[in-house]
């Protein structure tokens, strides 16, 4: 199977660039493992930036290599994506760096750092909540089970020394519950701007809680994968800067991923960077120099070769 896939990819990757390719298929089915000429990217919730970025990349890959069929799978987030990668039901996965560093039972390798996530704690605009500590004992949507959002939520709550009534709701269901007064806050880790939060801000006034010194505590407790950051004023109709924690998102493959596939993906990411960023503004952060900063997760050998050819 691996020899067959390699031969087909070699043929595909020498084809001239094409245009007008059919849109990539989006799916949540895992009935079949990836096969010859078929590439599977596991992304995230369709309302999130992971999914938008992955579907845009898939479209550009198919445009560059018309015989290549790229499928994007919806998921609950980083942890499920990495599980699919380990199981061999996906070729590529988008993952936050913190989850990736904990998922090394099967050797994984980074292709690139693509953009950063910023942690959102969304509350109603007219609520009296001012800090994470104010959520003690309240009902909170912490993210889907198996998501990086939930991983960070529990770390933050532990450092804050509080417990909440957890509801494992993703961003869409969580925001709907917030509007219906069924939860008091919604946690989300995503790029700025996240469309689901932006759309919610048009339906109801919202605020984002600042995290105070918790970002520094996250870094001290869990490592340099976390860094203090700020969501600038103006996003989500919020006039003030919101202090929060940020972390890198990576595109990841198994250690034994086909080298020609890795090269084709990286070439598409950087040759079509402006096109991808036009569809997904968070991709404006994608940069050759920062792409190699993947923390403790090593780069795939083909990625190293690609960056060396780019004089990095």
pTM above 0.85? Answer: no
Q: What is the pLDDT of residue 193?
A: 87
Position 312 confidence tier, pLDDT thresholds 50, 70, 90: low
Label each residue of the chain as H, E or C.
CHHHHHHHHHHHHCCCCCCCCCCCEEECCCCCCCCCCEEEEECCCCCCHHHHHHHHHHHHHHHHCCCCEEEEECCCCHHHHHHHHHHCCCCEEEEEHHHHHCCCCCCEEEEEEEEEEEEEEEEECCCCCCCHHHHCCCEEECCCCCCHHHHHHHHHHHHHCCCCEEECCCHHHHHHHHHCCCCCEEEEEECCCCHHHHHHHHHCCEEECCCCCHHHHHHHHHCCCEEEEEECCCHHHCCCCEEEEEEEEEEEEECCCCHHHHHHHHHHHHHCHHHHHHHCHHHHHCCHHHHCCCCCCCECHHHHHHHHHCCC
Which tens digit of pLDDT belongs to each residue from 37-76?
889 999 999 989 999 999 999 999 999 988 899 999 999 9
* Mean pLDDT, the chain, whole residue set: 88
Least confident of 29-33, 47-51, 135-139: 29-33
Which tens digit of pLDDT belongs to each residue from 229-261?
999 999 999 999 999 999 999 999 999 999 999
Q: What is the pLDDT of residue 105?
A: 64
Whether the predicted pLDDT of 4 surpasses 50: no
- Which residue segments constitute the domains of the chain, with CATH numbers given? 2-114+249-309 (3.40.190.10), 117-247 (3.40.190.10)
Whether the predicted pLDDT of 172 surpasses 60: yes
Residue range 12-28: mean pLDDT, rounded: 38
Which tens digit of pLDDT belongs to each residue from 199-215?
999 999 999 999 999 99
């Amino acid at each position: 199977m691996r020899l067959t896939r390699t031969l087909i990819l070699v043929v595909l990757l020498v084809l001239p660039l094409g245009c007008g390719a059919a849109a990539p298929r989006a799916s949540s089915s895992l009935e079949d493992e990836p096969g010859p000429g078929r590439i599977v990217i596991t992304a995230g919730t369709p309302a999130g930036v992971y999914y938008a970025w992955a579907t845009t990349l898939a479209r550009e890959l198919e445009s560059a290599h018309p015989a290549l069929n790229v499928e994007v799978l919806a998921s609950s987030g980083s942890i499920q994506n990495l599980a699919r990668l380990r199981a061999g039901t996906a070729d590529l996965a988008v993952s936050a760096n913190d989850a990736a560093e904990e998922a090394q039972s099967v050797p994984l390798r980074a292709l690139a750092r693509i953009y950063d996530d910023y942690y959102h704690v969304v509350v109603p605009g007219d609520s009296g909540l001012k800090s994470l500590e104010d959520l003690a004992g309240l009902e909170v949507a912490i993210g889907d089970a198996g998501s990086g959002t939930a991983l960070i939520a529990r770390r933050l709550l532990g450092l804050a020394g509080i417990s909440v009534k957890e509801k494992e709701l993703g961003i869409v269901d969580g925001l709907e519950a917030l509007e219906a007064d069924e939860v008091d806050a919604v946690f989300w880790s995503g790029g700025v701007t996240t469309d689901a939060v932006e759309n919610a801000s048009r339906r109801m006034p919202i605020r984002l809680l600042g995290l105070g010194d918790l970002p520094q505590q996250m870094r001290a407790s869990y490592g340099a994968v976390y860094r203090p950051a700020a969501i600038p004023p103006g996003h989500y109709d919020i006039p003030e800067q919101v202090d929060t924690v940020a972390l890198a998102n990576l595109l990841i493959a198994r250690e034994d991923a086909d080298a020609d596939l890795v090269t084709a993906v990286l070439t598409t990411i950087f040759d079509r960077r402006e096109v991808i960023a036009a569809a997904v503004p968070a991709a404006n952060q994608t940069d050759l120099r920062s792409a190699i900063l993947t923390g403790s997760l090593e780069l795939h050998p083909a990625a190293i070769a690609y960056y060396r050819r780019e004089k990095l």
